[in-house]
Amino acid sequence: IAVDIHPTAKEGSRAVAQEIAALIKSRQATNQKVVLGLATGSTPKYLYAELIRLHKEEGLSFKNVVTFNLDEYYPIEPDALQSYNRFMREQLLNHIDIPEGNYFIPDGTVPKEKVKEYCADYERRVEEAGGIDIQILGIGTNGHIGFNEPGSSLSSHTRLVTLDNSTRMANAFEFANMSQVPRLAITMGLSTIFKAKRIVLLAWGTHKAKIVRRAVEGHSTDQVPASLLQQHPDCKFVIDEQAAEELT
Ligand code: F6R
């Protein structure tokens, strides 16, 4: 895996925003769409802020952009404070000119008996859009990508999963208390993620240093889902100096 180390998260995020902007512009020149896979959580916040800045200050248009989010809690209402649907609207979508209908976020309100069908449909939509050009990922401290927890299969598709306790604890700060953190989530699968033409995983801060090392330098194992990215033909990690601390 290629690793780009930047002094700070902001600088790393700016570099990734530039790469995305360049792809959007080159496709605009030939009237083609760009399909982005997007993550939520604290990691991509600077990236989204920078994309908004590029839109507002430098006229970058998102009219030819289609986005698919990785995951969403289940069940959850789209307007709930912790919903990833709400996160995306607040952190990015409401502030750019992406057309209504061009962005997709797993729906945390689908009735349980319809979830399978819904997930297959989500998968199909990604394919119909032409597949993901650039997939943005964060990394959980247990190595998860999307909500593909340790043990997830490389052949997994979009599906309902059970969150690890460690993931629920890591995300508990967003909720009133631990018991409020959903036990389930809908996530793109590892095979869905792997079909992306290019993958860019972001990681900032000392609390990510150990898992970044295991993902980059350790064995490629399903016990550390991010380490499976070593097998992807075009994947890079963009990290800050703190997250790089443990790399040898
Ligand atoms: C969220 C997602 C997760 C996060 C990971 C890190 O859409 O896919 O895999 O990227 O849990 O979360 P943060 O960025 O909050 O440290």
- Measured distance CA(68)–CA(136) in Å, rounded: 10
Q: Is position 149 annotated as part of the catalytic site?
A: yes
pTM attached to this predicted model: 0.98
Do the beta carbons of residue 190 and residue 145 sit within 8 Å? yes
Residue 150 confidence (pLDDT): 98
Radius of gyration of the chain (CA): 17
Do the beta carbons of residue 12 and residue 6 sit within 8 Å? yes
| Residue 237 backbone class (left: φ over 0; alpha: ψ -120 to 50; beta: rest) | beta
Residue 13 confidence (pLDDT): 99
* Marked catalytic residue, from 6, 50, 69, 71: 71
- Measured distance CA(228)–CA(98) in Å, rounded: 32
- Measured distance CA(224)–CA(228) in Å, rounded: 7
Residue 64 confidence (pLDDT): 98
- Measured distance CA(178)–CA(165) in Å, rounded: 10
Query: What 3 state SS string does 95-139 have?
Result: HCCCCCCCEECCCCCCCHHHHHHHHHHHHHHHHHCCCCCEEEECC
pLDDT digits (tens, 9 = 90+) for 187-232: 999 999 999 999 999 999 999 999 999 999 999 999 999 999 999 9
Which residue ranges have their beta carbon within 6 Å of ligand 1? 39-43, 70-71, 138-140, 144-146
Q: Is position 72 annotated as part of the catalytic site?
A: no
Which residue's alpha carbon is nearest to atom 4 within ligand 1?
A: 138
Atom of ligand 1 nearest to the CA of 146: 8
- Measured distance CA(208)–CA(239) in Å, rounded: 9
Asked if the peptide bond before residue 75 counts as cis, ω within 30 degrees of 0, the response is: yes
- What are the distances in angstroms from CA 83 to CA 18, 74, 187, 189? 28, 9, 14, 19
Do the beta carbons of residue 13 and residue 202 sit within 8 Å? yes
Q: Is position 241 annotated as part of the catalytic site?
A: no
Atom of ligand 1 nearest to the CA of 147: 9
Domains in the chain with CATH codes: 2-238 (3.40.50.1360)
Residue 72 confidence (pLDDT): 98
Query: What 3 state SS string does 59-103 have?
Result: CCCCCCEEEEECEEEECCCCCCCCCHHHHHHHHCHHHCCCCCCCE
Pocket test for ligand 1, best of 43, 92, 242 (most atoms within 8 A of CB): 43
- For residue 96, how far is its CA from the centre of ligand 1 (angstroms)? 22
Q: Is position 142 annotated as part of the catalytic site?
A: yes
Do the beta carbons of residue 181 and residue 171 sit within 8 Å? yes
Residue 48 confidence (pLDDT): 99
As for the ipTM of the complex, it is 0.99
Residue 143 confidence (pLDDT): 98
- For residue 71, how far is its CA from the centre of ligand 1 (angstroms)? 9
Max CA pair span of the chain: 50
Written as tens digits, the pLDDT of the chain (248 aa) is: 999 999 999 999 999 999 999 999 999 999 999 999 999 999 999 999 999 999 999 999 999 999 999 999 999 999 999 999 999 999 999 999 999 999 999 999 999 999 999 999 999 999 999 999 999 999 999 999 999 999 999 999 999 999 999 999 999 999 999 999 999 999 999 999 999 999 999 999 999 999 999 999 999 999 999 999 999 999 999 999 999 999 99
